[in-house]
Amino acid sequence: MSGYLTTHVLDTAKGKPAAGLQIDLYRLDGNSRSKICTMHTNADGRTDSPILPQKAFATGEYELLFHAGDYLTETGAQNDFLNIIPIRFRMMTQDHYHVPLLLSPYGYSTYRGS
């Protein structure tokens, strides 16, 4: 089985999925990074397909950039703190990696989900 990467974003201040949030995925190699894709979350706060599908999966270092500032501004939330949230992580086995973001106007958290 080949690995793949999924994500989703929950707006914890509103208690609902964060729809329309832009997410960029990069592969890291030392001091350089290569953009793999840009996606937006759907009404369920997820991307419509894996952000990194099985056919493109490779072990290594990655970075997700969540454009939280734009989302917060567009949804009318107080937005004088967060802008782009970077999450860097390793994918070292051929597994399903799920990296969710729990978002509010003044903080966020993440974890390796299932």
Digit-coded pLDDT (tens) for 40-65: 999 999 999 999 999 999 999 999 99
**Per-residue pLDDT band at 33 (split at 50, 70, 90):** very high
What per-residue confidence (pLDDT) applies to 1? 58
Q: Is the dihedral of CA 112, 54, 28, 18 positive or negative?
A: negative
What per-residue confidence (pLDDT) applies to 110? 98
Provide the 10 A C-beta neighbour count for residue 25: 21
Instruction: Please state the rounded mean pLDDT for residues 16-33.
Output: 97
**Per-residue pLDDT band at 79 (split at 50, 70, 90):** confident
Provide the 10 A C-beta neighbour count for residue 19: 17
> Could you give all domains of the chain from N- to C-terminal order, each with its CATH number?
4-109 (2.60.40.180)
Q: What percent of the chain has pLDDT over 90?
A: 96
